[in-house]
Amino acid sequence: MRRLQWAVYGLAVALVAGAGMGVTQSRAQETIALEQFEDEEIGDHHEGYYYPAPQTVEHYQARVVTLPDSDEIRRQGFVIGMARQQLAAQYAPDYAIFAKGDESQKLVIIGLHDGALDTIYRARALFASMTLVARSTPFFQKNTQPEEATFFDLLKLLGFTQVTISDGKSFAHQVVIN
């Protein structure tokens, strides 16, 4: 339960970081340069490198539109905020989170422990937890109908086009955000 509380707290901090403060331009450029280098080496296809081919793919029709100022830097700020919060916790993180793609538009969540994110039900439970946290943030309340919107709507606001969640071993599930 304590880990879930820290994960929830981390999402709230990441929302603030991604929506308001973001990352400095120079740090964001370093991150973007690293992203481009990695993409040149492995191409745009991340399955087989970070996760196995998704066994299931679903399409989510978002209830919101991407905010005009949501760009690669904002998406990177969101992901960096979540990752920093996980690393600052008093325990090892259960999953790694990062953005891939030419514009950091693909969110990737990989379980770091056997048995953590190895079923679609556990993946959906994590997304449901993230939805609860997102609904409680001022950013989400300002830009959505929080009682109806989900974590996927938050991702759409930020300009993400898909999220892939995997145990990093044999399970992967992908959500395409329309």
Q: Where are the domains of the chain?
A: 2-177
Q: What is the pLDDT of residues 95-126, one digit of tens each?
A: 999 999 999 999 999 999 999 899 999 999 99
Q: Say which range, 24-28, 94-98, 126-130, 156-160, has the weakest mean pLDDT.
A: 24-28
Residue 5 has pLDDT above 60, yes or no: no
Provide the strand spans (E) within 11-133. Answer: 56-60, 95-100, 106-111
CA distance 96 to 20: 23
Contacts of 99 (CB under 8 A, 6+ apart): 35, 75, 76, 79, 105, 106, 107, 108, 160
What pLDDT digit, counting tens, does each position of 138-177 carry?
988 898 888 889 999 999 999 999 999 999 999 999 999 9
